[in-house]
Chains A and B, each alone.
Chain A
Amino acid sequence: MSSSEPSTIRDLPMSASQPSAVGEAPIPSGESNPIREAITQALGEHKVILFMKGTPEAPACGFSARTVAALQSLDVPFAAVDVLPDPRIRQELSAISNWPTIPQLFANGELVGGCDIVTEMYESGELAEALL
């Protein structure tokens, strides 16, 4: 956890926070990229973080819902980011993770997987260990 300037987190629509107010223009590569920086910071600050469609309370996609259910049944605390308010969140996230689909679950800054992998790991009992 960084003690200084955790404020870029608010650029992402974290669960239960206000939606972001970012604009529509694409971000040229090589220039300041606040969305990518906010994602990177969020990955560093949250041990377990899920990028999903909708919120844990109101998932907007069955795959996101299933992934949330697996985490909740393990009783693992996790941060959640809704990618829907701004398409650039998904673009930047996929560029960082080299993973094309949503949801994406990260633990300790590393991609654990999407819905299929998380479900498989939950059923095999591996998921809890991966989130330690």
Chain B
Amino acid sequence: MPFPEEIKQRIEAAIPGAHAEVEDYTGGGDHFRATVTAEAFAGRSRIEQHRLVYEIFGAEIGGPIHALSLKTQSPQQTPTQ
């Protein structure tokens, strides 16, 4: 079962300089919400930013990870909320 800390570490390992905050928002170990800040997102569209994160997990998205809700931003951006 994936845990928020594991997901955070995998995001931060895969995207250099990334900072991720991950929560399990149902407590069931399969629905996660991540806010990811990374220099790699600068100049990329939201879709490209989210793809960079989704690609880390491949087929786990929709499998053991039922949902990974994302908010992504580059360090220069203020969070869009």
Contact = CB atoms under 8 A, between A and B. Distances in A.
Interface in A61-84: 63
Interface residues of B, number: 14
Contact of A113 (B50, B68, B69): B50
Interface string A8-45: 00000000000000000000000000000000000000
Contacts of B54: 99-101
Contact of B50 (A63, A116, A123, A124): A116
Interface string B40-81: 000000110011001000000110000111110000000011
Interface residues of A, number: 15
Interface string A100-122: 11000000000101111100110
Contacts of A63: 67, 69
Q: Which of B46, B54, B70 has the most CB of A within 10 A?
A: B46
Nearest to A118: B46
Contact of A100 (B46, B61, B69, B81): B61
A7 interface: no
Contacts of A2: none
A90 B50 CA distance: 18
B61 A117 contact: no
A98 interface: yes
B71 A116 contact: yes
A114 B72 CA distance: 13
Which of A111, A116, A124 has most chain B Cβ within 10 Å?
A116
B47 A115 contact: no
A117 B46 contact: yes
Contacts of B67: 63, 101
The 5 closest A-B pairs by CB, nearest first: A100-B61, A117-B46, A100-B54, A116-B70, A116-B69
